Structure 1
Amino acid sequence: MALRDEEQRQLAEIERRLAEDDPRLAQRLSRLRPFALSSTALAVAALLVCFVVGLAVVAIGTEIGSLPVGIVGAIVGVGLPTLLIWRLWLRRLR
């Protein structure tokens, strides 16, 4: 549904005032994507996938008796999630 000219003008004025009053908030709002998963949901999904895949690789490495495969599984299952959490934590500190 399209906005009328007056409504578009009012919306542009509100956006302009917001950018003047709180530029940081305006910048964060401009990066929002409608109908998209939040970054938190994507991070949790990535953590779960890494953990499950790593656990499966460790199980396969144990089954075939291969130490290198087990080590790779541990890195994928524990190392990657740790790096992801660390990166997200550092990003929030900024």
Structure 2
Amino acid sequence: MGLPEDEQRELDAIEQRLAEDDPKFAAKLVKTPPPHHRLRPGVLRLIGLLLIYVVGLVLVITGVSLSSIVLIALGAAVTAFSPVAIVVQTWRTREKDEPSD
């Protein structure tokens, strides 16, 4: 939904004054957002989930190669519980965002 014409003209005038008063700041506002800002939050959560899972697997493999029970347990905990925590957090966030009937 667009702005009414008079509001759009006012906004354009404000943008023009800003560009004249502080061109560096105005240029910062016009820049395109970084790539990770263009992704949906669900995609970012999935990427984070996969990265945490890989870190847990690397800890397990390192623990096995060093015969370290502590690293194996830590890796197993990260691999098992972090994804569950992220899924539960996503589920709770989605539950809050849904309108109630």
> Shorter-chain TM-score: which interval?
0.5 to 0.7
Distance in structure 2 (CA, Å) of the matches to 1:87 and 1:51: 16
Distance in structure 2 (CA, Å) of the matches to 1:78 and 1:49: 13
Match of 2:44 in 1: 42
Taking every aligned residue pair, what percent have the same amino acid on both sides? 31
TM-score of the superposition, structure 2-length normalised? Answer: 0.59
Q: Which among 65, 68, 89 is matched to residue 70 of structure 2?
A: 68
Distance in structure 2 (CA, Å) of the matches to 1:72 and 1:38: 31
Structure 1 unmatched runs, 5+: 12-33
Structure 2 unmatched runs, 5+: 12-31, 97-101
1:38 CA drift (Å): 1.3
Structure 1 stretches of at least 4 aligned residues deviating more than 6 Å after TM superposition: none
Distance in structure 2 (CA, Å) of the matches to 1:71 and 1:93: 32
Q: Which among 65, 69, 80 is matched to residue 78 of structure 1?
A: 80
Please identify the structure whose Cα radius of gyration is greater: 2
1:75 CA drift (Å): 1.5
- RMSD across aligned C-alpha pairs, in angstroms? 2.4
Aligned partner of 1:72: which letter? L
Deviation per CA, 1:27-66: give whole Å up to 9, x if none.
xxxxxxx852211011000110011110011000011111
Aligned partner of 2:6: which letter? E
Match of 2:6 in 1: 6
TM-score of the superposition, structure 1-length normalised? Answer: 0.63
Distance in structure 2 (CA, Å) of the matches to 1:78 and 1:41: 20
Structure with larger RCO (C-alpha < 8 A, sep 6+): 1
Match of 1:21 in 2: none
